[in-house]
Structure 1
Amino acid sequence: MPARPKKRPKSYHHGDLRNALLKAAREVLEERGPSFVGLREISRRVGVSAPSAYHHFPSRDAIALGLAEQGAREMAECLAVSSRDERGTLAPYGEAYVAFVRANPALYRLMFGEGFPAVSQYSQAMRDLRKRSYDIMKSNLEKKLSDAELPAAGLFLWALVHGLGLLLIDGQVVPGKDRKDIVHRVLQLAGTGLGDARA
């Protein structure tokens, strides 16, 4: 009986290689940090050749931009769901923002340029996120502040939640304290300063 011909291994086929590469890049980012996000490593994790990955992401910056846009969309969804409560206060928005930062520390840093300084400038999703955040803030504060005060209030709130999120993920807040309670109290104080004693 003649020997059967050996089956040739099937060539790799993936229905959505771009998203598989982004998923692998995000794993590397969370495990090892932005300096380790590279085409060779993510290609190896997905099981494809580097040239296959180059087709979707021609550079490390392109991978970082893809991750930043993915993160911006996810964050926008979180903020849209929690942007306003029945009292019209900003606390749920701020709490959702800080919760996203705490759940995705490495991704959040990358979204704002850590390891890839140009990312936050060139990402349309990041520009959209900034606009959406400003619109949410404006809709909550326009009855309490004048039009002239809104831009400064927006910057104040963004600096507050951005800084608070970074302090928490950097471990700069006193250990053992209830993080959610700290966030709520800080936002409550900020709301009082912006004419909302119920923030």
Structure 2
Amino acid sequence: MASKDNSVNIKEALPKSARSYHHGDLRAAVISAGLKRLGEGDARELGLRALARDVGVSATALYRHFPDKEALLDALAEEGLRRLGALQAQAWLKAGGGRAGFKATGIAYVRFAHDEPALFRLSFTRQMPERKGEEGDGGEVAYNLLRAGVGEVFPAESVDAAALHAWALVHGLAMLILDRRVAWDEAMVARVVGLTFGGVD
């Protein structure tokens, strides 16, 4: 009886990463570990073995969720786009929608690239049309906000053309900042984005 009690106590004392995961928990834990490595600038160590070590399981245990490294990178990219969309949605609502909301989504886009450079780059190098999974594209929220916003700012223009114009502006600005061609200056970012996304204040 005492031996049985001890085994239970030892198991409870172990960190979650050293115990077995429920089916959904392991996938989430691996994605979280991958995002942490990206945030720390350790993008080169995003293999299944490295992340398995991070969460305390064998690499074999990950294959049910990620059959190969490509699937893992796609999942991380999908999460990056979901996070971008969530930040833009928050910015839209906080600004009250309309032109001000659209401008806020543009600023949020560039800020996300600045704050999460590795995740931003990964998200937009992986999410090609042929890589969209069964759950859909994580950037759907961001894309819908973009199309809604251009209707406010460019009502007489083709939605597709206006959306591409606006996206090209913020993505190009984001890449100039990430490539250190332009210094990060949020006030300047707001002014530049405002030229297209809702007028200069």
Partner residue in 2 for 1:146: 156
Q: Determine which of 12, 16, 30 is the counterpart of 1:21.
A: 30
What is the aligned length? Answer: 182
Residues in 1 aligned to 2:52 and 2:152: alpha-carbon distance in whole angstroms: 45
1:120/1:33 CA distance change after superposition, 3 Å: farther
In the superposition, relative to structure 1, how do residues 42 and 181 fare at CA in structure 2: closer, same or farther (>3 Å)? same
Q: Tell me how far apart the structure 2 counterparts of residues 37 and 87 of structure 1 sit (CA, whole Å).
A: 38
The one-letter code sitting in structure 2 at the alignment partner of 1:183 is: V
Q: Which of 19, 22, 25 is 1:12 aligned to?
A: 19
Do structure 1's residue 88 and structure 2's residue 95 form an aligned pair? Answer: no
Deviates more, 1:68-77 or 1:31-40: 31-40
Point out the more displaced range, 65-74 or 45-54: 65-74
What is the aligned-residue identity percentage?
Answer: 31
Instruction: Give the superposed CA RMSD.
Output: 2.7
Compared CA separation, residues 160 and 59, structure 1 to 2 (3 A): same
Which residue of the partner structure matches residue 192 of structure 2? 186
TM-score (norm 2): 0.77
Task: Give the deviation of 1:130 after TM superposition.
Answer: 5.4
Partner of 1:134: 146
Q: Match of 1:146, SS?
A: coil
Deviation at 1:183, TM superposition (A): 0.4
In structure 2, C-alpha distance between the alignment counterparts of 1:171 and 1:20, rounded to whole Å: 33
Question: Deviation at 1:197?
Answer: 3.6
Q: Which residue matches 1:66? A: 75
Structure with the largest fraction of helix? 2
The equivalent of 2:170 in structure 1 is 161
Q: Give 3-state SS (helix, strand or coil) of 2:137's partner.
A: helix
1:167/1:173 contact within 8 Å kept: yes
Shift of residue 127, structure 1, vs aligned partner: 5.3
Structure 1 gaps of 5+ residues are none
Change in CA separation of 1:179 and 1:48 when aligned onto 2, cut-off 3 Å: same
The one-letter amino acid paired with 1:59 is D
Q: Which runs of 5+ in 2 are unaligned?
A: 12-17
Q: Give, in whole Å, the separation in 2 of the partners of 1:189 and 1:134.
A: 16
Shift of 1:40: 0.3
- Does 2:58 match 1:52? no
Is 1:101 equivalent to 2:113 in the alignment? yes
